[in-house]
Amino acid sequence: MNVQTLANGSFYGRAAKPLEVGGVTLAETAYDANFVVPLHDHAHPIMCLALAGRFTEHVGRRRDVLERRAVFFQPAGEAHAETFHQSPARLFNVQMGAECIRWLDEYRVALPAAPMNVSRGRLSILAMQLHGEYRLREGPLRL
């Protein structure tokens, strides 16, 4: 099966203008109800925070239903797809580029080697704080 590789700053759905800071690309994306994101992977690791709506994350044979405040992570090159449910959805995307990866390596910070998701907890809180900072800088979204 043909899998499209997305570069940082490339998204499915409607995306606000990406913000690049220190090798990290930040962007909010919106999806219509029942939107299907085809199988794809990313050139660099990506972490997403669910801001609204429900969707199913498909990774291999695994199917996870995620909703508001869930955080999911995909390593570079990990094929996955999403199916959004019966209401519109929004995600906050954090794409880690080569500069960010070098910085993390320098400080011996290891990213997960496999896909993961967290529904609540400290990671969700930190992701929501980062999204708040992004919104302060970017202002009202026009998706």
Q: What is the pLDDT of residue 13?
A: 95
Where does the pLDDT of residue 1 fall: very low under 50, low under 70, confident under 90, or very high at 90 and above? Answer: low
Average pLDDT, the chain: 93
How big, in percent rounded to 5, are the helix, strand and coil portions of the chain?
20, 45, 40
77-130 per-position pLDDT tens digit: 999 999 999 999 999 999 999 999 999 999 999 999 999 999 888 999 999 999
The pTM of this model reads 0.92
Of the listed ranges 43-57, 80-94, 129-143, the one predicted with least confidence: 129-143
Cβ pair 18, 54 in contact under 8 A: no
Where does the pLDDT of residue 60 fall: very low under 50, low under 70, confident under 90, or very high at 90 and above? Answer: very high
Where does the pLDDT of residue 7 fall: very low under 50, low under 70, confident under 90, or very high at 90 and above? Answer: very high
How far are the Cα atoms of 10, 22, 34, 76, 141 from residue 116, in angstroms, in the given order? 21, 24, 23, 13, 28
Q: Provide the percentage of residues in the chain whose pLDDT is more than 90.
A: 86
pLDDT(140) > 70: no
